[in-house]
Structure 1
Amino acid sequence: MANLVRSAKSGSSWGMNELIAFNIEVIDVNAQTFFGNAILPQLTLSPVILDNLEEPAGPLHKADMDFFAYMEDAMIIPPGEESLVDDFAAFVLKMMHYDEGRRVIHLRKEMGFEMCGQRVDAKTDVCVMERSGTGAKYLLLVQEDKRHLSRDDPEPQLIAEAIAAFYENNRARKAAGLPKLPSRTFAGITMIGTAPTFYKIPVTDEVLISLATSQYPTQVTTVTKLVPPVPFPERLANDGMKSLVNRRIILQCFEAFRQFLN
């Protein structure tokens, strides 16, 4: 692996080769391992959202109407153009209180990091940031699965974005006169339609140095991945949250996942 050819690539161009070249592996785990608890948390969401396949007739709260509108739009994949998945993801994060306190949700935020002696760019589709005295820092990143437009796998792209987020967070700390953090684990999500996959992505200073200098890291970086434990995971990409059973389980996963923003 140390003899693989490494070259500077933007985050949107990352693929399996970059993961292999920099000793990054992704492993699937169950909910017990991922969340530390096999029992998913209870939800306090509107029963209109939890108990109706589609928007029911009659007067509704705006948030309930918006959920069904965004969900319907996200399930449509227009040929030759980006879908509305990012809007749905941002809505769900807000609905699940990922923007509490000084946290904000942004779309298409641009970042960068050093790779093979060059600065390369990375752009997250959706992110959660926290504003503080050291400037805004990245907490969570969302990458849409755009394989209806190209063959690019969203997983390596999401990992590249986490690396860029770590680089940018430490750059903000340095500008504020604070020491760099040696490591951080980022929350990440890939989305296809209304179906998410959840990730915990550790990034270390060693990884940044290896990327900048084109070296193979001696320590493997292990990213953990959770596919929501729905009854029929093979249909998750197509069914997403249109299924009431799936919807409840997925939203419970969002509720449990919020703990990793701290």
Structure 2
Amino acid sequence: MAQLIRSAKSGSDWTNADLLAYNISITPTSPAPSLDHLDSTILTSPTTEDPTLSESTADYLGYLDLATHATQESATATLRLLGFNARHTTARAAQTDVCIIYLRGQPVLEVMTIPCITMFGPTPTFYLVPVTRELSDAVMTAQYPTSETRVLKYVTVAAHQRRISDGMADPEFRKLALKRFLAFKSLAKSY
């Protein structure tokens, strides 16, 4: 592993080679909670044209339609719909150029698991990224960490899905994706 080139870079610029260079593996996994508390038309309506839709359902489906045309608003709308906004918490879409800085007066942790969601158009993928002090030091000093970092990845793909770009605009896929968001919400709270 000594011959691999290591450098700090933006999260969206990491490749499989970078993961290998820092001894990071990604393991797919799959949760499945209930969606019984949601308006059932959110799960079944393919369009906002239905005059019987509630205002909030029509708004949400409108955001999904926008997402198929490359906007980040559907991610924020989905997080709000599923109650990710809690006291002192705000759901916002952001570009992924993020780093963790040790704050003065705060203890340095040996490990911290960071819950992450990426959106490719209207298609979510979920990650739990354990960041150890060893990994942090290795990235800062461009060294190979001796311990492997295992990232959990929740891939959202429906069996019948025709095109990945349809994402949550497809009612069957939407149901699966919303279940994944809820499972992830519970998991993220525990971290």
TM-score, normalised via structure 1 length: 0.65
Gaps of 5+ in 1: 77-82, 110-121, 124-160
Which protein has the bigger strand share?
1
Higher relative contact order (CA 8 A, sep 6+): 2
The amino acid of 1:89's aligned partner reads: A
Q: Deviations over 1:212-249 (max 9, x none)?
A: 1111000011111122362336x461331232221111
* Equivalent in 58, 69, 90 of residue 104 of structure 1: 90
User: Structure 1 residue 28: deviation in Å?
Assistant: 1.9
Q: Deviations over 1:42-94 (max 9, x none)?
A: 33112231221111433654321221211111112xxxxxx20x211111111
Identity over aligned residues, as a percent?
31
* Equivalent in 51, 58, 65 of residue 58 of structure 1: 51
For the residue of structure 2 that corresponds to 1:108, the secondary structure is coil
User: Structure 1 residue 105: deviation in Å?
Assistant: 2.0
User: Structure 1 residue 11: deviation in Å?
Assistant: 3.2
Regions of 4+ moved over 4 Å: none
Could you say if the C-alpha distance between residues 10 and 251 of structure 1 is closer, same or farther in structure 2, counting changes exceeding 3 Å?
A: closer
CA contact (8 A) 2:75 2:93 kept: no
Alpha-carbon distance between aligned partners in 2 of 1:89 and 1:201, rounded to the nearest angstrom: 20
CA contact (8 A) 2:130 2:149 kept: yes
CA contact (8 A) 1:195 1:236 kept: no
* 1:21 alignment counterpart: 21
Alpha-carbon distance between aligned partners in 1 of 2:151 and 2:13, rounded to the nearest angstrom: 19
* 2:6 alignment counterpart: 6
TM-score, normalised via structure 2 length: 0.86
Alpha-carbon distance between aligned partners in 1 of 2:163 and 2:16, rounded to the nearest angstrom: 23
* 2:109 alignment counterpart: 181
Please give the root-mean-square deviation of Cα atoms over the aligned residues, in Å.
2.2
CA contact (8 A) 2:7 2:139 kept: no
Could you say if the C-alpha distance between residues 7 and 228 of structure 1 is closer, same or farther in structure 2, counting changes exceeding 3 Å?
A: closer
Alpha-carbon distance between aligned partners in 2 of 1:183 and 1:236, rounded to the nearest angstrom: 38
Within 5 Å, which residues of 2 pair with 1:212-223? 212-223=140-151
* 2:183 alignment counterpart: 256
* 2:76 alignment counterpart: 90
* 1:140 alignment counterpart: none
For the residue of structure 2 that corresponds to 1:199, the secondary structure is strand
* Equivalent in 38, 43, 53 of residue 45 of structure 1: 38
Alpha-carbon distance between aligned partners in 2 of 1:12 and 1:231, rounded to the nearest angstrom: 27
CA contact (8 A) 1:200 1:223 kept: yes
CA contact (8 A) 1:50 1:244 kept: yes
Gaps of 5+ in 2: none
